[in-house]
Structure 1
């Protein structure tokens, strides 16, 4: 089937999901793709949209913003062959109900905007109506298939290369790469032998001056103010240790903007008022930040994979432990785990080759997700693909209204939504507290021997703002 004959629409709202959907579809040559942004409290601003689309094939003309009430009519008029539902779980469920109302039903694809280890029960249950779940490593495929087997939710999965982590190795000379930790004192040097390359390859791969330490912030981990304050202090120490390098705090939202996850302790508030001149903030794309990076530090951001693809060495902080609640168990065996003192000293490192293939760096030929989409589209056109419908809410109409208002927030102006919000918010808080109490021993979240969890996640991360 020719890609030019397949029309795909990505439906998204939050920043990381917009970046993922645009990069994923932009990696398919010749596909007719469009990005539909639904207005919710998490929807990207214009600046966030421009940043999210950097490096993708999407232009402003390929993006449409709609209210929820306009969504069904827009899709009915455009009749896409497939939709990519790109948002947090409740968003995906709500968009799935719109898909269920269409006469000409598209193939439904969903996925995650980065690393998804551990595979979480809620993440799978919210997407159980999808025709295809796109994952980005062999390890993730195993984890979600095992999770599905344990909870009785079977969703077809397919492997894709993490779209914004394509290998684009930068080099200094044709015979070797020398990453000497920015000239950092005590940092040492790592020399990696490379085969010689042609002049044209060298011209395309010359590495720009790399002097920055880039810190990829995360909203949810670490969770406590004390731990985040320790990271803030580490960043100041790293800047003061060598004034010749910049320490770049890579943020994803400006004041007044939203992110996919709610940040309770922003780093701007934890850093001192008077900062070293070489400690700076950046709101640009991660790709731009990595252009000048000689090292990236994070707790568990997917930016570590993006950096690895570019040949930028990484430290995944283990100063607060390694656990599923820190979302950093994926780095066990990678060789990337390290502490705060190593960041200050510039002792960044590259991932072990044995870890790479199972974790996001499989051969391109093994990424067959688009072939699977083509097969599903052909089946749907032939009437041979049964619909996987979103289950009705067990609480009836008022519960359906709660599902809607919890995603749309103030964009839902219905009386039923207001009633559901007044009833549902305290009920959900009480239920969440009860679930946390029942899982006080940590359950599978505390089990290091698996890559999945069966209990609700422990994060206080309401989708409402």
Structure 2
């Protein structure tokens, strides 16, 4: 990767996972003097979340600025960056994209998603379609977004990056791949069935981590969705703690009470354990990298923490007790050898990945990551006046629609009268549209249920509005 000396790059973010991703991505470029601008929205990280997000990224707190939305344009005009990395949920990217478009010296705009993005979702691409470059993190994602773009008529340039916080002490490459293959790897192929991937007995090729005994559970807000399924996971973690009191079961949380996170957690695990828990079942708000230092294994449904764990040599169980389905965001693990059930968690039979899965799924050689080369090419074209502007179009509903977009992203940080009026009128409309889309899915128009593709065409089913 070419060094970034002399390049002025600003990452603009708000929510926790995007702050971590932007800081890690920019921190991975040697000699790059990057800045991170945190815009105040209803999702903006707290000071504690910011510290956790910056930990280990190479980006210091001195490089971070917090601003109200109304001051962003003036600040960017003074900085005159060559590149702006728009790191936020789709509506945030669209809102800040219009600010960047209005700058007298428009920089190259780059966007992306902060973790695993299989299935590729139509909304994720639609909101970012006017970026000069969209970053993906695996060859599989690159194919999925290219296929999705071809299906809906969106041509957004794609570039490959390594998930930056997946650069651990023990990358799965070279000798580690050969060791796993020599040990027999794990069963499962591209079209494998989840139950066939569960281990019999021990985990072939497992690497014992001396002194590491914790079972770390990476909690997620979106999956599983149903309260009874989340309660079942809580009960499973209690069983795991009771099965071996000498080990800790660590529930790794993303936010403390009163803090926001990227997605709304309607059934937080702190509430699910309100009736009591074993003494060795504990909560943690530490950075994931810190939690993994003492981990014998990681459990998740579909968190990107699985990739981070594997990069650190920590084995994983991708919990399949609720099935393997796009709506669980866990189809990416088919063929990985990582899928397993409750019995494996309780027994501590964690899994290392199948070698054939790795290169296509987040563990490609670093030399294949071309995102920074692409960014430099785009900057050279922009400086030469040869890069067409991919401007975010004005909202079709005019000023009122623009006010809705702004207020839905900024929340209480938007104090405008038009924003308040737009929200009052817009909320019932969005509820009606959501009901219409749900009826269409029930009628069979549902690519979320299509196992033959790695993308979806319908809006996501998570009922996770950015407005809180």
Measured against the shorter chain, the TM-score band is over 0.9
How far 1:274 sits from its partner (Å)? 2.2
Q: State the TM-score, normalizing by the size of structure 1.
A: 0.93
In the TM superposition, what are the counterparts of 1:153-172 in structure 2 within 5 Å? 153-169=154-170
Aligned equivalents of 1:336 and 1:315: distance in 2? 5
Contact 1:323–1:446 under 8 Å retained in 2: yes
Aligned equivalents of 2:104 and 2:347: distance in 1? 61
Contact 1:86–1:112 under 8 Å retained in 2: yes
State the match for 1:76 in structure 2: 77
Deviations 1:211-261 (A, max 9, x none): 000000000100000000000000000000001100000000000000000
Residues 378 and 208 (structure 1), Cα distance of their counterparts in 2 relative to 1, 3 Å cut: farther
Deviations 1:95-153 (A, max 9, x none): 00101110000000000100000000000000011000000000000000000000011
Aligned equivalents of 1:388 and 1:436: distance in 2? 32
State the match for 2:270 in structure 1: 268
2:447 to 419, 444, 448: 444
State the match for 1:464 in structure 2: 467
State the match for 1:309 in structure 2: 311
State the match for 1:13 in structure 2: 14
Q: Is residue 378 from structure 1 mapped to residue 363 from structure 2 by the alignment? A: no
Provide the secondary structure at the position in 2 that maps to 1:358: coil
Aligned equivalents of 2:458 and 2:202: distance in 1? 44
Provide the secondary structure at the position in 1 that maps to 2:166: coil
How far 1:436 sits from its partner (Å)? 1.3
How far 1:56 sits from its partner (Å)? 0.6
Deviations 1:359-395 (A, max 9, x none): 0000110001000000001111111111101011111
In the TM superposition, what are the counterparts of 1:232-247 in structure 2 within 5 Å? 232-247=234-249
Residues 424 and 5 (structure 1), Cα distance of their counterparts in 2 relative to 1, 3 Å cut: same
In the TM superposition, what are the counterparts of 1:211-360 in structure 2 within 5 Å? 211-360=213-362
Aligned equivalents of 2:274 and 2:423: distance in 1? 39
| Unmatched tracts of structure 1, length 5 or more | 179-185, 195-205
Contact 1:187–1:346 under 8 Å retained in 2: no
How far 1:442 sits from its partner (Å)? 5.6
Aligned residues: CA RMSD: 2.1
Aligned equivalents of 2:205 and 2:337: distance in 1? 15
State the match for 2:134 in structure 1: 133
Residues 408 and 237 (structure 1), Cα distance of their counterparts in 2 relative to 1, 3 Å cut: same
Aligned equivalents of 1:344 and 1:68: distance in 2? 47
Number of residues paired by the alignment?
Answer: 445
Aligned equivalents of 2:31 and 2:141: distance in 1? 28
Deviations 1:396-452 (A, max 9, x none): 110011000000011111111111111111111111111111121361100011000
Aligned equivalents of 1:358 and 1:3: distance in 2? 27
State the match for 2:151 in structure 1: 150
How far 1:192 sits from its partner (Å)? 3.7
State the match for 2:88 in structure 1: 87
Aligned equivalents of 2:361 and 2:204: distance in 1? 23
Aligned equivalents of 1:225 and 1:129: distance in 2? 37
Aligned equivalents of 1:167 and 1:70: distance in 2? 37
How far 1:166 sits from its partner (Å)? 1.3
Contact 1:12–1:36 under 8 Å retained in 2: yes
Contact 1:129–1:390 under 8 Å retained in 2: yes
Contact 2:220–2:303 under 8 Å retained in 1: yes
State the match for 1:406 in structure 2: 408
Contact 2:243–2:346 under 8 Å retained in 1: yes
State the match for 1:49 in structure 2: 50
Q: Is residue 453 from structure 1 mapped to residue 456 from structure 2 by the alignment? A: yes
How far 1:2 sits from its partner (Å)? 5.8
Provide the secondary structure at the position in 1 that maps to 2:236: helix
| Unmatched tracts of structure 2, length 5 or more | 184-198
Contact 2:203–2:352 under 8 Å retained in 1: no
Aligned equivalents of 2:276 and 2:57: distance in 1? 37
State the match for 1:397 in structure 2: 399
How far 1:167 sits from its partner (Å)? 4.0
How far 1:170 sits from its partner (Å)? 9.1
Q: After the TM superposition, which parts of structure 1 deviate over 4 Å for at least 4 consecutive aligned residues? A: 186-191
Q: State the TM-score, normalizing by the size of structure 2.
A: 0.92
